Amino acid sequence: MPATPPKALTIAGSDSGGGAGLQADLRTFFACGVHGMTAVTAVTVQNSLGVTGYAEIPPETVAAQIEAVATDIGVDAAKTGMLASAAIIEAVADACDRVHIGRTIPFVVDPVAASMHGNQLLRDDALDALRTELFPRATLVTPNLDEVRLLTGIEVRSHDDQRKAAEALLEFGSKWVLVKGGHLWDDPGCLDVLYDGSEFIELPGPRYDVKHTHGSGDTLASAITSRLARGEDVPTAVRFGKEFIVKSVAAAYPLGGGVGPVSPLW
């Protein structure tokens, strides 16, 4: 009988266009050889042109999904994507505590706030819940520069600012912070900065002049989560994630009349 692969859980929103959100997470888990599970937080109405609306899942249903899969199937690592509201974040934090996600089980918090088209995916009052309820439970948080500004007020314009932002974010209590440099548009490369309070690990990468980057943040966080589910340490998993996302951006394809998704198949 084939062996059971490592198991990863995404706590995230659905993208009806199949580019980002839990659809990107499941694709990435599969490509990384990991069994993927979902606790759906919201259902977005979305295509390649943007998000036109969404419905939130009741917080108790989100929590029940987490507990259902954790108590039967087991979770080797988990990640979050779109969480929509403070009430959902609080329910996720409580459920994760009950099943040891973020304690003995690695937990990646991707603080999704908006889509690349600027559509808000998190209520304004939920930022505080992210900082106080989820960051202290996180093994790793993976903000882009827009999320860094919302969470810390720091406007990142240089690699030095990225390091300052990493220090500020670590104060919220996660074990590691990855400040992604993709939105530092003047940088000819794309440098991500990983920090745990002791040393800054710099992860350089190429910057591709491509239009189709939908789902890139989700794909990176899922690739990292897949490796944490296999038992790798954070720097090793993040280095893998960086290589994975570079290849996935290079393999992105056009879709619809707007922005197409990155692809974990190359």
Q: Where on the chain is the footprint of ligand PLP (CB under 6 A)?
A: 12-13, 15, 20-21, 44, 46, 81-82, 112, 115-116, 121, 214-218
| Phi, psi values for residue 69, rounded to 5° | -75, -35
- Cβ pair 64, 94 in contact under 8 A: no
In the complex, what is the shortest distance from the CB of residue 70 to ligand PLP, in angstroms, rounded to a whole number?
21
Other beta carbons less than 10 A from residue 116's beta carbon = 17
In the complex, what is the shortest distance from the CB of residue 40 to ligand PLP, in angstroms, rounded to a whole number?
10
In the complex, what is the shortest distance from the CB of residue 13 to ligand PLP, in angstroms, rounded to a whole number?
3
192: left (phi over 0), alpha (psi -120 to 50) or beta: beta
The three-state (H, E, C) secondary structure of 95-145, written as one string:
HHHHCCECCCECEEECCCCECCCCCECECCCHHHHHHHHHHHHCCEECCCH
Which of 24, 177 has the CB closer to ligand PLP?
24
Amino acid at 144: N
Which of 103, 250 has the CB closer to ligand PLP?
250
In the complex, what is the shortest distance from the CB of residue 4 to ligand PLP, in angstroms, rounded to a whole number?
27
Q: Which residue has the tokens 């087991």?
A: 74
In the complex, what is the shortest distance from the CB of residue 229 to ligand PLP, in angstroms, rounded to a whole number?
19
Which residue number is nearest to ligand PLP in terms of Cβ? Answer: 21
Q: Which residue has the tokens 């991707």?
A: 110
Q: Which burial class, exposed, middle or buried, applies to 173 when counting CB atoms under 10 A from its CB (0-12, 13-18, 19+)?
A: middle
In the complex, what is the shortest distance from the CB of residue 104 to ligand PLP, in angstroms, rounded to a whole number?
26
Which of 160, 210 has the CB closer to ligand PLP?
210
Which of 75, 121 has the CB closer to ligand PLP?
121
Which of 1, 225 has the CB closer to ligand PLP?
225
Helix ranges (H only) for 15-85 are 21-31, 59-72
Which of 13, 102 has the CB closer to ligand PLP?
13
